[in-house]
Amino acid sequence: MWNQIFPEQASTTAGRVDGIFSVVLGLSLLFAVPVAILIVYFGIKYRRGAYVERFDEAHEGRGSGPTWLLEATWIALLLPLALGIYGWGARLFFDMNELPTQGMDVYVVGKQWMWKFQHPTGQTEINELHVPIHFPVRLTMISEDVIHSFFVPQFRIKQDVVPGRYTTTWFEATETGEFDLYCAEYCGTDHSRMLAKVIVMEPTQYQQWISQRNLGGGTGAIAEGSSGEGAGGEGSPTTMASAGGALFVSQGCTSCHLADGTGEGPSLVGKWGQQVELEGGQVETFDMDYVRRSILDPQGQIVAGYPPVMPTYEGQIDENQLLLLVEYIRSLGQTE
């Protein structure tokens, strides 16, 4: 039972989460238990019909006197404690939500009722995610249908995976082994069966796994197909960027988005991370969400100086293919 309340600590943030949880729980018990005892005690002592010498403010010499000193003392003692807990929690919150600058990227697509993981180098996995120990893993996630929630208890991470926008989280595993991944948001009939594993390996074992996937003709990213999964065959998996480039060509995007900017659409070379001015004066950041919206709803954010000629691709490509296009456009260049 105790192990179910406090699962194994298997990430760099697990101990910090358990630390603040234990302190808050201890402080809550410190105040709640005496209050509960006093409620029971006074309920019995001052119950109707019990003979007690009740306080009578009108009685001579029984005035309550000033209480400001007691109130000021309680404030002076509890305010720093409350602010300290708040600051501790805020620092942990920001650290858990700020992606590390170094690490490996993994794209996650949730759907009823499975998890799909895709590495930028091309490997794809269904309901399993292989990662090396002591290495930050940055997750970019989206749902194809309803809201899901990415929850690994041993890592103390939980992040909603929602349709229509990308959410991010990260972890750095400190223990090898297999760790359960759950969907913690009710998502339909087979919600309870939406289970997966995060498999943490030693760096040498992880490299062997990568090599086997490369040489064994395993799943890799491809441009065509609704799932975005690779087919069999010999050779290394196609990287997400190169698969996205093939999809970019097959969908006719190269006819408008010329590298020199002379086409009907703006050039995409070196634009990642820049500010983009739209018709009407709005400014957007050229990032994953911006690219996704531009593909699915191009008329909603027309770049200033360009005609509204781009058609919508909503319903023509799925979330996996959108991730391929995003990775390809990111590979065209990022501003410093």
Condensed to tens digits (0 to 9), the pLDDT of residues 261-279 reads 788 888 899 889 899 899 8
Instruction: Give the residues across from 181 on adjacent strands.
Output: 196
Q: What percentage of the chain has pLDDT greater than the value 70?
A: 86
- State the burial class of residue 295 (Cβ atoms within 10 Å of its Cβ: 0-12, 13-18, 19+): buried
Tell me the C-alpha distance between 170 and 151, whole Å.
12
List of residues 6+ apart from 301 with CB closer than 8 A = 278, 282, 284, 290, 293, 294
Condensed to tens digits (0 to 9), the pLDDT of residues 159-173 reads 999 998 999 999 999
As given in the structure block, the two tokens for residue 320 are 């996996």
pLDDT score recorded for residue 56: 56
Q: How far is CA 294 from CA 47, 151, 330, in A?
A: 70, 30, 14
With bands split at pLDDT 50, 70 and 90, how would you rate the model's confidence at 231? very low
With bands split at pLDDT 50, 70 and 90, how would you rate the model's confidence at 70? confident
Q: How far is CA 79 from CA 19, 33, 68, in A?
A: 21, 20, 16
Residue 219 has pLDDT above 80, yes or no: no
Tell me the C-alpha distance between 285 and 282, whole Å.
10
> Average pLDDT in the 87-101 region?
92
pLDDT score recorded for residue 72: 87
Residue 52 has pLDDT above 50, yes or no: yes
pLDDT score recorded for residue 235: 46
290: which DSSP letter?
H
Residue 232 has pLDDT above 80, yes or no: no
- Give the burial string for 85-106 (b: 16+ CB within 10 Å, else e): eeeeeeeeeeebeeeeeeebbb
List of residues 6+ apart from 140 with CB closer than 8 A = 105, 106, 107, 108, 166, 167, 168, 288, 323
Please, what is the average pLDDT of the chain? 85
User: Which region holds residue 242: left if phi is over 0, alpha if psi is between -120 and 50, else beta?
Assistant: alpha
Q: Which of 57-66, 120-129, 254-263 tops mean pLDDT?
A: 120-129
Element (H, E) at 23: helix 14-45
Tell me the C-alpha distance between 97 and 100, whole Å.
9
Q: What is the pTM of this model?
A: 0.79
pLDDT score recorded for residue 213: 75
* C-alpha torsion angle, residues 130, 132, 134, 137 (rounded to 10): -50
Condensed to tens digits (0 to 9), the pLDDT of residues 120-143 reads 888 889 999 999 999 999 999 999
CB contact at 8 A, 272 and 334: yes
Rounded to a whole number, what is the largest CA-CA distance in the chain? 99
- State the burial class of residue 293 (Cβ atoms within 10 Å of its Cβ: 0-12, 13-18, 19+): middle
* Tokens 């500010």 sit on residue: 275
